[in-house]
Amino acid sequence: MTPKLSQIKKDFTESLSQISRFWGFPKGMGAIFAVLYLSPAPIPLDEIVGLTGLTKGAVSTEVRTLARMGLVHRSSKLGDRKDYYEAETDFYTSIRSILKERQNSEFDRALRGVRETLEKLDSGSVSGDEAEIKFLRERLKALQEFFNAIDSLTNAVIKLDKLGISNVAKILNVLK
Amino acid sequence: MTPKLSQIKKDFTESLSQISRFWGFPKGMGAIFAVLYLSPAPIPLDEIVGLTGLTKGAVSTEVRTLARMGLVHRSSKLGDRKDYYEAETDFYTSIRSILKERQNSEFDRALRGVRETLEKLDSGSVSGDEAEIKFLRERLKALQEFFNAIDSLTNAVIKLDKLGISNVAKILNVLK
DNA sequence: TACTACATTTAGTAATTACTAAACGTAGTA
DNA sequence: TACTACGTTTAGTAATTACTAAATGTAGTA
């Protein structure tokens, strides 16, 4: 039995929805990206609505966050008031912008929290058992070093392109 | 005004809870890890309950997933039926096991979905417009290559240790 | 064997997040 | 100016996820 193209597309959209959810994004976001990715030409919002089954409101908001992440691009045609959307096809570009996006988020706020805690301990202004303070200082310091390592790794990855990523795996294997 | 140690600990726990949520884990998990990380000795489940304000049931299940991820370790003392928990302090070890954990998850299932879709297209068994099939094949292929790159990158990182991670950032900068 | 001190499971609730429907805003056209 | 064709916002609902309370299971001790 030969499967229909439309079924193939639906399967793919389903897969991307799951992947989206797995990474903590709404599954609708994955679906929207999928239909855009499978479209040879930019399509207007209403068509996304038709293809995904979501409402205009949902598509409107999620397509915006996709655009902010650099995963889709919005464009418009002269003499046509519709907005048209298309998927970014260079994933290495996308990854970079997603990482950037994440860097100035709640995550960073939390990291600053840890840093500030450590500063308080280091400043000696904290009252309490000396041995315990020493212990806490060591633990927090270790955690902070780890965060810093991740941070510089992230920054390095942000600068990578396709060639870079595929080489890194090889290099890491050599390192080991 | 000199802050109290207990306040410092609460702040830290709060920060880790947020970080936990940011990465798609329950905030309770972050809190549990935090109190274990700040404890100089392994502590029993009931004490975690007291320090986090969660119930026994919640701590029981979340501590188990933390253990599966390798972020905490369970131990028991002879002649004592309590289980004791302590935090893994080598984060590089933890990262490895988290990545491993994620590799055989829903995510992988979804990736297989994409692969299978592509195989169907390649096998020529799909009926539909030839030009469109060709287009879809190209797009899916590009996506799959990307996934493969990420996959081998992940595998490489799994093999890394502390030294490795801190070097990688430097190396990546040279690459660029 | 029954009791005690613990951990786990389960069934239900609270909180959060994704989404819908519909009102609203706006830019272009007549 | 009013109308039309679109996008956005908002207020509420559905679905999901995190959590609680309490029943159940279990290993060790008397």
Question: How far apart are alpha carbons B152 and A110 in whole angstroms?
Answer: 30
For residues B36 and B12, the answer to whether their CB atoms sit within 8 Å is: no
Residue with tokens 């489940």: B45
Q: Does the structure show a pLDDT above 70 at A90?
A: yes
What per-residue confidence (pLDDT) applies to A98?
Answer: 78
Nearest to A113 among B15, B149, B176 (CB): B15
For residues A90 and B142, the answer to whether their CB atoms sit within 8 Å is: no
Radius of gyration from C-alpha coordinates of chain A? 23
Mean pLDDT of the region B144-167:
75
> Each residue of B48-90: pLDDT tens digit?
999 999 999 999 999 999 998 889 999 988 778 899 999 999 9
Q: Does the structure show a pLDDT above 80 at B104?
A: no
Q: Which two tokens stand for residue A160?
A: 């990578």
Question: B143 — contact with chain A (CB < 8 Å)?
Answer: yes
Q: What percent of chain A has pLDDT over 70?
A: 86
Q: Please choose, from the candidates B54, B42, B56, the residue with its C-alpha nearest in 3D space to the C-alpha of residue B13.
A: B54
CB–CB contact A106 B159 (8 Å)? no
Q: Does the structure show a pLDDT above 80 at B160?
A: no
> For strand D, which nucleotides have at least one atom less than 7 Å from a protein CB?
5-11, 17-23, 27-29
Question: B141 — contact with chain A (CB < 8 Å)?
Answer: no
Using CA atoms, how far residue A18 sits from B80, B84, B111, in Å, is 44, 36, 10
Min mean pLDDT across A50-59, A122-131, B28-37 is at: A122-131
Ordered domains of chain A (ranges, CATH): 5-89 (1.10.10.10), 92-175 (no CATH)
Mean pLDDT of the region A31-51:
96
Residue with tokens 């369970």: B74
Q: CB-hemisphere CA count at 13 Å for A155?
A: 13
Question: B175 — contact with chain A (CB < 8 Å)?
Answer: yes
Nucleic strand D near CB of residue B3 (< 7 Å): no
B86 - beta bridge partners? Answer: B73
Higher pLDDT, B71 or B148: B71
Task: Band the pLDDT of A165: cuts 50, 70, 90.
Answer: low
Question: How far apart are alpha carbons B118 and B135 in whole angstroms?
Answer: 12
**Taking the C1' atom of C29, which residue's CA lies nearest?**
A79
What per-residue confidence (pLDDT) applies to B50?
Answer: 94
Q: Does the structure show a pLDDT above 80 at A161?
A: no
> Each residue of A112-147: pLDDT tens digit?
888 888 888 888 888 888 899 999 999 999 988 888
Higher pLDDT, B75 or A176: B75
Of these ranges, A3-12, B2-11, B66-75, the one predicted with the greatest mean pLDDT is B66-75
Task: Band the pLDDT of A78: cuts 50, 70, 90.
Answer: confident
Nearest to B146 among A23, A91, A110 (CB): A91
What per-residue confidence (pLDDT) applies to B64?
Answer: 94
At residue A129, the 3 state secondary structure works out as coil
What per-residue confidence (pLDDT) applies to A61?
Answer: 95
Nearest to B156 among A136, A152, A173 (CB): A173
> Each residue of A58-77: pLDDT tens digit?
999 999 999 998 999 999 88
What per-residue confidence (pLDDT) applies to A64?
Answer: 94
CB–CB contact B18 A149 (8 Å)? no
Q: The dihedral of CA A32, A35, A41, A46: what is its sign?
A: negative
Distance between the alpha carbon (CA) of B35 and the C1' atom of D24, Å: 29
Q: What is the 3-state secondary structure (H, E, C) of chain B?
A: CCCEHHHHHHHHHHHHHHHHHHCCCCHHHHHHHHHHHCCCCCEEHHHHHHHHCCCHHHHHHHHHHHHHCCCEEEEECCCCCCEEEEECCCHHHHHHHHHHHHHCCHHHHHHHHHHHHHHHHHCCCCECCHHHHHHHHHHHHHHHHHHHHHHHHHHHHHCCCHHHHHHHHHHHHHHC
Question: B50 — contact with chain A (CB < 8 Å)?
Answer: no
The single-letter code of the amino acid at A106 is: E
Nucleic strand D near CB of residue A45 (< 7 Å): yes
> Each residue of B164-173: pLDDT tens digit?
666 666 766 6
What per-residue confidence (pLDDT) applies to A109?
Answer: 76
Contacts of A155 in chain B (CB under 8 A): 169
What per-residue confidence (pLDDT) applies to B36?
Answer: 96
Query: Between A and B, how many residue pairs show a Cβ–Cβ distance under 8 A?
Result: 192
Angle ∠(A156,A157,A161) on CA atoms, nearest 5 = 115
- Strands B72-76, B43-44: parallel, antiparallel or unpaired by DSSP? unpaired
DSSP state, residue A74: E
For residues A66 and A33, the answer to whether their CB atoms sit within 8 Å is: yes
